Structure 1
Amino acid sequence: MKKQINGMLLICAVAAMTFGCSQSKEKSEQQSEPASEKVAESLKTVTVDLASKSDSKLKGTVIFKELANGKINIDVNLMNIEPGDHAVHIHAVGDCSAADGTSAGGHWNPMNVAHGNRAEGGDFHQGDIGNLNVREDGNGSLSMDVEGWTIGGDDSTNILNKALIVHAGPDDFTSQPAGAAGPRIGCGVIAMN
């Protein structure tokens, strides 16, 4: 009888250890899942729909993605505009209410430096992006990774609450203060959805 009780106690102890270990493993797996989800959630994305301005027929979308390396990827896709080069800039004010886009103010320039060409280095506004080439079919795109921008960082790097502007012509990268790119034909406010 004593042997049976000891045997049963041994079986119960083994079962309890097995159940406890598997439960412990499940708990540790549950705890590791939220950590990986937090990493994915911390990388932000902002999508901007562009509105046509200055009687253009422009349609477009701009996606800003926070990258793991600390840069921001900007992906611009445009339709229904004249073939050729078109300047793309971030302007200081997140307001696209004016029919000609002028409510967006001037280029975003928190460092108060001269306008220039980001691709060549030297002085350039935080909002200087570059020229996007539109093909004969009226469509064009531009994608680049930008260092020094954030989605929600400090005032000198934060792209939120500003406007993305597309111009009728190319940026000449030398005319001050904005590159002589012509009328604003597209505008979208950069804001979290």
Structure 2
Amino acid sequence: MKKITILLLAVTISFTACKKKKEEVKVEEETVTTEVTKAKKVKITLNAKSDSNTSGNVVFKEEDGSVTMTAIISGLTAGEHAIHIHQTADCTSADGKSAGGHWNPTGKPHGKWGDVTGYHKGDIGNFTADENGNGTISMTTDEWCIGCGDSTKDILGKAVIVHAGADDFTSQPSGAAGARVSCAGIIE
């Protein structure tokens, strides 16, 4: 009988030692704020310059830190044409030269967009007009913004210029693209 009592006592001590202690757990609440930003959009109308019939629309849309530009242009001669962003939103002169030179806030040489040797922030590139004189071009970049106030990225207050010819991507400072056949200020 003594053996059973000792065994029962050992089991009781063992069981008591294995009981888990209740611990007080503190749970901290964390507030997560998600910022939803509305897409910014600017639509501009291209007007004919240099005695051309070139017109069209350009839409800039900023979303998630990138700006997409889509241009639909008509009244061109068939073939390649350059499109650039120029310094100011002034399209008052008949030849479009009131818009100034290419927008180049970083002081780089003229070139093809994305080229490691350098390019202006306004060096968009070339597009092709079909046999009816219609052309489109679209691009997306995180190197532009709409109204952010960063002088190296903000396209507001600049102008879109369509040229009579193609950009050769090497001639300085503008790519020898010929006359300015259409202009529109990038304004809200």
Is the TM value for this pair above 0.5?
yes
Distance 2:52 2:36 in 1: 41
Tell me how far 1:121 sits from its aligned partner.
3.9
- Judge which range, 140-149 or 98-107, deviates more: 140-149
RMSD: 1.5
Would you tell me which structure has more helix in proportion to its own residues?
1
TM-score (norm 2): 0.79
TM-score (norm 1): 0.77
Picking from 95, 106, 112, the partner of 1:111 is 106
Picking from 55, 58, 62, the partner of 1:62 is 58
SS of the equivalent of 1:178 reads coil
What does 1:98-137 correspond to in 2, within 5 Å? 98-137=93-132
Q: Point out where structure 1 has 5 or more consecutive residues left out of the alignment.
A: 1-34
Distance 1:103 1:191 in 2: 16
Give deviations 1:103-153, integer Å, cap 9, x for gaps.
Answer: 000000011110000043430001000001100011010011112100012
Q: What's the counterpart of residue 175 of structure 1?
A: 171
Q: What's the counterpart of residue 153 of structure 2?
A: 157
How many residues are treated as equivalent by the alignment?
155
Identity %: 48
SS of the equivalent of 1:103 reads helix
Q: What's the counterpart of residue 83 of structure 2?
A: 88
Give deviations 1:41-100, integer Å, cap 9, x for gaps.
Answer: x210000100000000011000000022x1100001001110111100000011000000
Max Rg structure: 2
SS of the equivalent of 2:36 reads helix
Q: What's the counterpart of residue 191 of structure 1?
A: 187
